[in-house]
Amino acid sequence: MNAVVIAIAVMFILSLARVSVVLTLVISAIIGGLVAGLSLSDTVTAFNAGLGDGAEVALAYAVLGAFALALSKSGLPDLLAYKLIGLLGMEATQKQATKVKFLLLGILLIAAICSQNLIPVHIAFIPVLVPPLLKVMNHLKLDRRAAACVLTLGLVGTYIFLPVGFGAIFLEQILMGNINKIGAAYHLHVERSMMPMGMAIPVLGMVIGTLFAVFVSYRKPRIYVDRNVAPITTIDLDKPLRAVNVEVLKADGIALEQEAKQEAPVIAKKTIVMALLAIILTLISQLYSGSMILGGLVGFSVLSAAGIFKWQEADDVFVQGMRMMALVGFIMISAAGFASVMTHTGDINQLVNGVVHLIGDNKALAAFLMLFIGLFVTIGIGSSFSSVPVLAVIYVPLCVQFGFSPLATVALIGTAAALGDAGSPASDSTLGPTAGLGVDGQHDHIWDTVVPTFIHFNIPLLVFGWIAAMVL
């Protein structure tokens, strides 16, 4: 039996059993190495050899986590939330429910896009911004499943298309880096300019899926009850949130007018200016150097120098911020180790030849099977960033064998990886929306976030990813 197939099967089974993603990758790598005939010592050595490939990405995540926490110390996210609540609260009292509904969804989309590309705080903004807006959504009878789809589009669709912020990490460091590393042996090389071009058609599928969710699937009013609850501030990737028993929550709704009139956060103009300056310099540094590590460090340094927090607290803020993103970093490092073991087994070529023998020269079928198999692998892992090293080691040789162009290779691997973020119960891109929309117990993680995003994103990604592979 092929060791790579067995390793992926073990990974899928353990993921379904809700075993920690890091532990799943380690166990799967060891089993795959032993099945291939490697000794335990050789397997561990191969695993360790690959860990360094994920270190840069993990460090980038950690530094951005520190920057995100430092930015929150400025009070800028709180001020933004207050302004939005005031605006939407006053508008919602008028007979313009439809207008306000789309304005609110647009705000959520813009905030999610900014969190990935402009202000790289990832999902950290959701527990701050979304819970205070729930009463506005309740007043509008807005189906939160539509809001979950909009948030997920902003969280996923932008970083797999725009090479800025987290997009630079995914497209250039992870996707391009792994394709070129594995493809070197097959004379396959992709350029930075190919990344957005290869992912444009799959992202179009996500946009169409979102429009269908907002205007068709979840356009009808849905009744929610105003409940005053404390927002969730931490998100555990290994323990997906579920709606709690509504009966235990206190139903003491607060009027929208009172919500809008509450005292505004007091933030000095200097603090706002320095926070905006930190954001701008972070973006410029990242674009100029091509390094999100440097960009995050520049932003953190500006906030620290501006006195946003005390010098004595700088170390604590940095460590806490890094800890916030630590799990994601460990997953990516482990994924790189898993990919290294798969390479050392020598069974990849055997797998490729076997697939080619079964399919023949049918490129259309090959593209569909790669995406379909990638769906199960990446949903189990729950992260597109971590899925790329696992998929690239198998899919790059397959793409070369079937004669796919470099752009088509980018589309196939990038789309297969994105399936792990859009619709996986273990993905931070689905856990994030639930952390904000489900704080009052009226939004279930599985049925109100995972299932809607799976239907409206994963299915379009499969279709449009296949189209991209065939036309590029």
Q: For 340-377, give the DSSP string.
A: HHHHHHS-HHHHHHHHHHHHTT-HHHHHHHHHHHHHHH
Range with lowest mean pLDDT among 174-183, 194-203, 423-432: 423-432
pTM: 0.70
463: buried, middle or exposed (CB in 10 Å: 19+, 13-18, 0-12)? Answer: middle
Per the CB < 8 A criterion, the answer to whether 170 and 64 are in contact is no
What is the distance between the alpha carbons of residues 195 and 370, in angstroms, rounded to a whole number?
19
Mean pLDDT of 393-398: 84
Residue 239 scores a pLDDT above 70: no
Residue 148 scores a pLDDT above 70: yes
Residue 199 scores a pLDDT above 50: yes
What is the distance between the alpha carbons of residues 255 and 342, in angstroms, rounded to a whole number?
58
What is the distance between the alpha carbons of residues 7 and 354, in angstroms, rounded to a whole number?
17
Pick from 366, 375, 374: nearest CA to 392: 374
pLDDT at 467 (0 to 100): 93
Range with lowest mean pLDDT among 27-31, 113-117, 213-217: 113-117
CA quadruple 35, 41, 46, 47: dihedral positive or negative? positive
pLDDT at 246 (0 to 100): 42
Range of the domain at 98: 3-471
Pick from 261, 392, 338, 356: nearest CA to 33: 338
In order of 175, 235, 249, the CA distances from 465 in angstroms are 15, 30, 43
Mean pLDDT of 86-99: 59
Pick from 300, 331, 335: nearest CA to 318: 300
Q: Most confidently modeled of 96-105, 142-151, 227-236, 282-291? A: 142-151
What is the distance between the alpha carbons of residues 129 and 140, in angstroms, rounded to a whole number?
17
Q: Which long-range contacts (CB under 8 A, 24 or more apart) does 94-101 make?
A: 97/140, 97/141, 100/136, 100/140, 101/140, 101/142
User: At 231, is the secondary structure helix, strand, or coil?
Assistant: coil
pLDDT at 228 (0 to 100): 59
Per the CB < 8 A criterion, the answer to whether 264 and 75 are in contact is no
Residue 204 scores a pLDDT above 90: yes
**Residue that wins the pLDDT comparison between 436 and 239:** 436
Per the CB < 8 A criterion, the answer to whether 265 and 78 are in contact is yes
**Residue that wins the pLDDT comparison between 379 and 13:** 13
State the virtual CA torsion across 60, 62, 63, 65 in degrees, nearest 10. Answer: 120
What value does the mean pLDDT of the chain take?
A: 75
CA quadruple 386, 412, 194, 111: dihedral positive or negative? negative
Q: What percent of the chain has pLDDT over 70?
A: 70
Residue 72 scores a pLDDT above 70: no
pLDDT at 212 (0 to 100): 93
Residue 128 scores a pLDDT above 70: no
pLDDT at 187 (0 to 100): 85
DSSP state of 443: S
pLDDT at 16 (0 to 100): 65
Give the pLDDT band of residue 311 (cuts 50, 70, 90). Answer: low
User: At 251, is the secondary structure helix, strand, or coil?
Assistant: coil
pLDDT at 393 (0 to 100): 80
Residue 50 scores a pLDDT above 80: no
Range with lowest mean pLDDT among 237-251, 296-310, 335-349, 385-399: 237-251
Range with lowest mean pLDDT among 38-47, 121-130, 140-149: 121-130
Q: What percent of the chain has pLDDT over 90?
A: 6
Q: Total structural domains in the chain?
A: 1
State pLDDT tens for residues 12-26: 677 667 677 678 778
The radius of gyration of the chain from alpha carbons, rounded to an integer in Å, stands at 23
